[in-house]
A and B are shown apart, each in its own frame.
Chain A
Amino acid sequence: ETGVTQTPRHLVMGMTNKKSLKCEQHLGHNAMYWYKQSAKKPLELMFVYNFKEQTENNSVPSRFSPECPNSSHLFLHLHTLQPEDSALYLCASSQGASTRNTEAFFGQGTRLTVV
């Protein structure tokens, strides 16, 4: 199994749909992150969870709703998205913000297209 697994790899959804992205890490890490990568723009941090508690919300619209039921799983619930939300959504994990080693490992991403 790879360290960080994201499903689905590709998703096409209409603006009125509700869908969820899933991320799972098998590295024993305590921190998990959602990033958004739009065309021609740097990766943008969306949310940070440390020991299942959300510690950062980088001014993300409420149509994106994260959920972290345990340290190994992270979800991103999507509803009433806009076409400009189409992007590659990347999940990452690290040992945790309070530890010295915060090397981050990324999943392969979910390519989201909103039509």
Chain B
Amino acid sequence: KQEVTQIPAALSVPEGENLVLNCSFTDSAIYNLQWFRQDPGKGLTSLLLIQSSQREQTSGRLNASLDKSSGRSTLYIAASQPGDSATYLCAPASGSARQLTFGSGTQLTVLP
């Protein structure tokens, strides 16, 4: 059974800092991995999708890396802004239905 751990659970940084969020998963037989953000009480917004054959994916100030063999992914946020404050979730897709398994997330607060 896939298990996902995200570290740290919470992070508070001043505006402008670069930061790294970590995700680890136990079953390396994944099809892809998605990073999402969730604002309080809202649904999930997809940020990046990395296919299992890829090492890295970039979108604007976000860069996600994937080391499938070691069961790790990182999300790098450059020049953080207060609008980046949210909970960030990683979810590898595995199993016959390619279902997503979620970690508990990292709650990010960017202070102005």
Contact = CB atoms under 8 A, between A and B. Distances in A.
A48 B31 CA distance: 17
User: Interface centre among B32, B41, B43, B105, by most A CB within 10 Å?
Assistant: B43
A106 interface: yes
Contacts of A92: 44, 100
A84 interface: no
A70 interface: no
A88 interface: yes
| Chain A residues touching B, majority SS | strand
Interface of A: 4, 6, 31, 33, 41-43, 45, 48, 50, 55-56, 88, 90, 92, 94, 97, 100, 102-109, 111
Interface in B24-43: 31-32, 34, 36, 41-43
A50 B102 contact: no
